Amino acid sequence: MLDLPTLVLFVSASVVLTLAPGPDIIFLITQGVTKGRRAGFATAMGLASGCLVHTLGAALGVSVVFRTSALAFQTLKIAGVVYLLYLAWKTIRAPQTDAAIAPSHEPTEDEGRALYFRGVLMNLLNPKVALFFLAFLPQFASPERGAVWMQMVLLGIIFTAQVVVIFGSIGLFAGHVSMWLRRGPLGKAGRYMKWAVAAVYVSLALRLARA
């Protein structure tokens, strides 16, 4: 369905766009550094899963709603801002032991599941991501190669696959950094880390609000 030159160009562009600094990477690194490798990886998989949802939305035309309806766009954006502010409030209210840099234990299965869904929500509640998929995927689809929506689904799956690799690696690396922080002098600075994490959430909320 996709010729080799188109596939190579798409993958190359996808990798560059995925590595570009943005809210998702900041959020991912924050989770990995503060909660460990498993948390970083779970968050990465959640963010990647959100890409699949956006792919289906773009293929089925749902994303067009957010492009043409200012109300729908603003509603989703406000939901994203509220969610990020909620995460900031929850971080500040967390017990001191939960807020320390790199906890001595890896997240439990339930905690990992919660982090996964947090990653999914982080991705889905950003309307700019939905518009990105709607604008990006069709550029590599052509009616001459068959059904456009099927091509967009395939392209979205390929995009998500490279997100899994890149974000998964970043999440694990951030977790390794957290282990170093715990062993180093910063390991005793956990009481201040929750304020830094909350500040990250607030800055992401402000960035989304200004979008």
> pLDDT digit string (tens) for 149-188?
889 999 999 999 999 999 999 999 988 876 666 555 554 5
- The answer to the question of residue 206 being in a domain is yes
- The answer to the question of residue 16 being in a domain is no
CA angle centred on 66, ends 62 and 71, rounded to 5°: 130
- In this structure, are residues 1 and 150 in contact, taking their beta carbons and an 8 Å threshold? yes
Indicate the pTM of the whole model.
Answer: 0.80
Largest CA distance in the chain: 61
> Could you tell me which of 111, 114, 132 has the C-alpha nearest to residue 122?
114
- The answer to the question of residue 68 being in a domain is yes
- The answer to the question of residue 2 being in a domain is no
Q: List the domain range (segments joined by +) for residue 117.
A: 25-210
Count of structural domains within the chain:
1
> Could you tell me which of 162, 151, 159 has the C-alpha nearest to residue 3?
151
pLDDT per residue of the chain (211 residues) written in tens, 0 to 9? 678 888 999 999 999 999 987 888 989 998 888 888 899 999 999 999 999 999 998 888 877 776 778 887 788 788 888 988 988 888 788 665 444 444 545 677 888 899 999 999 999 988 888 888 988 888 898 888 888 888 999 999 999 999 999 999 999 998 887 666 655 555 455 556 677 778 888 888 887 788 6
- The answer to the question of residue 11 being in a domain is no
- The answer to the question of residue 141 being in a domain is yes
- The answer to the question of residue 184 being in a domain is yes
Helices (H), the chain: 4-19, 23-35, 37-60, 62-68, 70-93, 96-99, 109-124, 127-136, 148-183, 190-210
